[in-house]
Structure 1
Amino acid sequence: MKTALIINDDKDTLDILGYIINDMGHNCINSQSLLPISEIIELAADIILFDHYTNLQTPGNLCFQIKSDPLLSHVPVILFSAHLNIANIAKNSLADAYLAKPFDIDDLTNLVNSLLQ
């Protein structure tokens, strides 16, 4: 069983994503705010999903820090957003993948499964 860290400031979206990940057979750690790198390391998640906008901050910089940290660089990161430029945002922040909102649940589950293999 794998563990997913989901960061999203909208509680309803966070709950729905957590339900989907749990339904896939994985553990879920939910956070409504961005976390410091030290805490992310301690959580030892197998995959991280960020909303591009969280608490009026953009997690692209945190994503870049995660992908640049030797203890975390192997952890896949998925950015999701309704931002029209999410593909470039994900690329520039070194995210492994992105989902444009609104996204299909099957697209989410297929992406998570492919990144966790």
Structure 2
Amino acid sequence: MGKKICLLEDDEGIREIIEMILTDEHYEVYGFSNVKDFMAFEDKGSQDLYLLDVRLPDGSGLMVCDDLKNNESTKSIPIMMMSAHASLNEMKHTCKAEEFIAKPFDIFDLLKKVDQQLSKRN
């Protein structure tokens, strides 16, 4: 398998599509629908990228982003935030994510941004 991507998205349809697309591109994807399950995942430090939704049923992706960036084992792993409601400007003021993608998004744009973030880590 390829690089590891952790996906936090509560919308089942969106999560399944993103997982399918990234898996087809040979990424190893770990999908979560809520903050509780994501935070219980013990392999966070070995991921190559985080893809986080902002609005979640049990918390905020912005809070998760902040937690990851303040943790020694995950702070250097790139984070892409996704939202239909927030903007890039809001992201820059609330968390230190490397990238933002607005929903609805173009699949090719998503893949391009994922590839860009992963290539920066090489």
Using structure 1 for the length normalisation, give the TM-score: 0.89
- Asked if the contact 1:80–1:86 (Cα under 8 Å) also holds between the matched residues in 2, the reply is no
Alignment of 1:103-114 (within 5 A): 103-114=105-116
**Paired residue for 1:17?**
18
**Paired residue for 2:104?**
102
The number of equivalent residue pairs is 114
Unaligned runs of 5+ in 1: none
Partner Cα separation in structure 2 for residue 88 and residue 10 of structure 1: 24
Opposite residue 62 of structure 2, the aligned amino acid is: G
Q: Deviations over 1:68-106 (max 9, x none)?
A: 2111011111011111x4212321211110001111111
Of 56-65 and 69-78, deviating more is: 56-65
The percent identity for this pair of structures is 25
Using structure 2 for the length normalisation, give the TM-score: 0.86
Partner Cα separation in structure 2 for residue 80 and residue 86 of structure 1: 9
Opposite residue 73 of structure 1, the aligned amino acid is: K
**Paired residue for 2:59?**
57
Partner Cα separation in structure 1 for residue 71 and residue 58 of structure 2: 24
- Asked if the contact 2:34–2:58 (Cα under 8 Å) also holds between the matched residues in 1, the reply is no
**Paired residue for 1:26?**
27
Q: Verify: 1:3 aligned to 2:7, yes or no.
A: no
**Paired residue for 2:49?**
47
Alignment of 1:68-87 (within 5 A): 68-83=70-85, 85-87=86-88
